[in-house]
Amino acid sequence: MPRALVVDALARGSKLKRVVTVDVIGAGPRAVAALLESRGLRADLVPAEAVAEDPSILAGYDVLMVSAMTSDEGSAAAIAREWRRRSGGPAVLGGPVTADPTSVARPASMSLGLSLIHI
């Protein structure tokens, strides 16, 4: 069964640390993980700090999905660079950062940026 790692980088800024609040994982990343699982993929959901503290958690996944805001581009790029060092699989960027098409291209090594306006 394919494995996807969904990383919540929302409100992490460029330093891979939550800068606003220490509440739960965002609704968007949770919805994406649930959708993937409903389609038969295994989806694990982690906060960005987990990747920063132990990048080896990226091993064993087929797809990386990162949710970020524009202010989180630095964190998304750092996660994508680490992913590319460890995997040849696709890296998908989602969340508010994708509302600006120029920002989708900036985070390093992202394969695709998705902006979902309506589900």
| 38-74 pLDDT, tens digit each | 999 999 999 888 898 899 999 989 999 998 888 888 8
Residue 67: CB partners within 8 Å, gap ≥ 6?
6, 7, 8, 9, 10, 26, 28, 29, 32, 94, 95
Q: What pLDDT does residue 22 have?
A: 54
CA atoms lying within 13 Å on the CB side of residue 35:
9
Write down the CATH superfamily of domain 3-114.
Cobalamin-binding domain (3.40.50.280)
Given this model, what pLDDT does residue 118 score?
Answer: 37
Q: Please report the pLDDT score of residue 109 as a whole number.
A: 56
pLDDT exceeds cutoff 90 at 102: no
Residue whose token pair is 């060092």: 85
Yes or no: say if 15 and 76 are a contact pair by the CB < 8 Å rule.
no
Top-confidence residue, 34 or 13: 34
Please state the domain extents for the chain: 3-114
